[in-house]
Amino acid sequence: MKLEKVSTEKAPSAIGPYSQGIKASGFVFCSGQIPAKPGSGELVTGSITDQTKQCLSNVKAVIEAAGSSMNRVVKCTVFLKDMNDFAEMNAEYAKWFSEPPPARAAVQVARLPKDVSIEIEAIAEL
């Protein structure tokens, strides 16, 4: 199986030894995206809606850099620092996907990189 690195300046740079995304076997695997702005890496703070929007904007940038689109996302995982943010996150998340929406897991975690409140990863068909 051939692996191809996906990289774009329209999403935050990796902050560790990983790729923004990897293309393999007809899919793009997008690494978890936190609410950081491309270029500056400045974190979006405030409402979970604003943070979710930034995470999904970053996911979209990586997926599009791979040659896919949000309409081809088949699976997402949402990591939340506080499950009490679920309803607000879910309302914003729903705006980003058409029918049928991708399969998804949403879990509460003890801690996320840079102590953010949310991280989202995705898999899309190429």
pLDDT above 90 for 81: yes
2-21 confidence digits (pLDDT tens): 999 999 999 999 888 999 99
What pLDDT, in 10s, does the model give residues 67-80?
A: 999 999 999 999 99
Share of the chain above pLDDT 90, in %: 97
CATH of the domain at 83: 3.30.1330.40
38: containing domain: 4-125
Distance, CA of 23 to CA of 2 (rounded, Å): 8
- Its pTM stands at 0.96
Model confidence over 105-117: pLDDT tens digits? 999 999 999 999 9
Number of domains in the chain: 1
Q: Per residue in 83-97, is it b (16+ CB within 10 Å) or e — as a string?
A: eebeeebeebbeebe
